[in-house]
Structure 1
Amino acid sequence: MKDQVFTTEQCVPLPRDVVFAFFADPRNLEAITPPWLGFGMLERSTERVQQGTELLYKLRIHGFPLRWRSRIEEWQANERFVDTQLEGPYAKWHHTHTFHDRGGGTLIRDRVRYRLPMGWLGRLFGGRFVASDVKKIFAYRATRIQELLHPLASERR
């Protein structure tokens, strides 16, 4: 089965530890997820995200309700973490978040490797559609990250 790969990055004018701490708080996931997904956290196994944390949330994809359970498989504080889908709409979802110092701020890089269900049929009928959805979701996320984190940089000056 062929995986699809999506990558994106953005710079935030804040130190890496501050940016990483934002992502380590699972409550912020709701703040950066598009409202049209109807996202809601149902369970989390730990207060702050760390290796082994499991998260269960609900969302709607094009009106279809579903539950998504993920686990933090890798965790390197202030550097990177990886979440994988345990239950949800994809045959595979592997999301690597990395954080790098960049020009007095932080470069956030996301790399998602995913596979649609139903093999080649899933790719044939849903490949472009899902790729477009993923791109829109991450574009919204980038806008929200900027809206939420850029004001913090002004406060720190």
Structure 2
Amino acid sequence: MKIYKLHKYQKLPITKAQAWEFLSDPANLKVITPNYMGFDILDGADRKMYQGQVIQYIVTPVAGIKTKWVTEITHVKEGEYFVDEQRFGPYALWHHKHFIKEIEGGIEMEDIIHYKLPFGLLGRIAHPIIVKNKLEEIFAYRQKKLIELFGDYK
């Protein structure tokens, strides 16, 4: 059983309160997701993030194949961090921690994702060819979009 890890940092020239306000609104996930992914929220994004919240999406990550993704917000510490875990979707395991830390001149966001692919050996073969590259591309888009929205940290 292979569990992969993606670890990303981004600094932004905004306050912790501004960062939390944006990140704790589930509807903003669509704003920072590439359009080609066909990201649509079906249910559960009608209020600010809270522990136990279940959010349902449709995504089209590869080859126009629509996939339902259901996540649960399992942990929330107001203004500090939250954790989302996939309950149903394309991964065998998806555990995503989001941290916000105040730094001089702004904030640093940290994302730590542990994930496992389905399909055993086929999943492990697909990882370096498709999945890892796709996740890197999504997070590169997210970083660029957040800079467009909030400015670049200098």
Runs of 4+ displaced beyond 6 Å = none
Which residue matches 2:146? 145
Which residue matches 2:67? 66
| Structure 2 CA distance for aligned equivalents of residues 45 and 131 of structure 1 | 27
Specify the code of the residue in structure 2 equivalent to 1:2.
K
**Does the 8 Å contact 2:26/2:45 carry over to 1?**
no
Q: What is the aligned residue count?
A: 151
Which residue matches 1:30? 30
1:45: how far off?
Answer: 6.1
| Structure 2 CA distance for aligned equivalents of residues 56 and 37 of structure 1 | 15
**Does the 8 Å contact 1:11/1:106 carry over to 2?**
yes
Identical columns (%): 34
Which residue matches 1:21? 21
1:121: how far off?
Answer: 2.7
**Does the 8 Å contact 1:46/1:53 carry over to 2?**
no
| Structure 2 CA distance for aligned equivalents of residues 37 and 45 of structure 1 | 18
**Does the 8 Å contact 1:4/1:114 carry over to 2?**
yes
SS in 2 for 1:61: coil
Give the TM-score normalised by structure 1: 0.91
| Structure 2 CA distance for aligned equivalents of residues 136 and 45 of structure 1 | 24
What are the superposed Cα offsets for residues 67-94 of structure 1, whole Å, 9 maximum, x if unpaired? 1000001101111110000010000000
| RMSD over equivalenced CA pairs, Å | 1.5
| Structure 2 CA distance for aligned equivalents of residues 88 and 143 of structure 1 | 26
Matched, 1:81 2:86: no
Higher relative helix content: 1
